[in-house]
Amino acid sequence: MKYSKIELAKQAIKHKGFIKKIPDIIRMVNYWRKGQYPVNAIDIILPLLGLLYVISPIDLLPEIAIPVLGVADDLAVLSLALPKLLKEVDRFLLWEAEKIGNIRNISDAEIID
């Protein structure tokens, strides 16, 4: 089966409601940039860089020159970046709900995929 970056992007979009979480991702990045959302920069920047790498036309292993490995590196980056980003968005939504006051009495919570 032949894959392209467009096909990989379509698969990424289907991953656990990714499209629905795009506004949340944007809001999370804005809160983080303003210094209001306390999180390590690496937890936000690395997954976003991974997505940019998959979308961008610049590639370390180009699909045209090395068809199988070219797609494999994109799949590897997607498989690492998307779950990390979506987990961080879930943490952000929990933080945001606490901030607004919708959720009280949470002492220790773990986000489970």
- Exposure class string for 40-57: b at 16+ Cβ within 10 A, else e: eeeebebbeebbebbeee
Write out the E strands in 26-89: none
The CB density around residue 81, as the number of other CB atoms within 10 Å, is: 20
Residue 42 lies in a domain: yes
Cα dist from 36 to 6, 26, 60, 72, 74, whole Å:
35, 14, 35, 37, 32
Domain extent at residue 31: 5-98
Residue 54: the pLDDT is 79
Residue 110 lies in a domain: no
Structure confidence by residue, pLDDT tens digits, 23-59: 888 899 999 999 888 888 888 888 888 888 877 777 7
Residue 16 lies in a domain: yes
Number of domains observed in the structure of the chain: 1
pTM over 0.85: no
Structure confidence by residue, pLDDT tens digits, 74-101: 778 888 888 888 888 888 988 888 887 7
Residue 105 lies in a domain: no
State how far the Cα of 8 lies from the Cα of 87, in Å rounded to an integer: 20
pLDDT at residue 19 greater than cutoff 60: yes
Residue 61 lies in a domain: yes
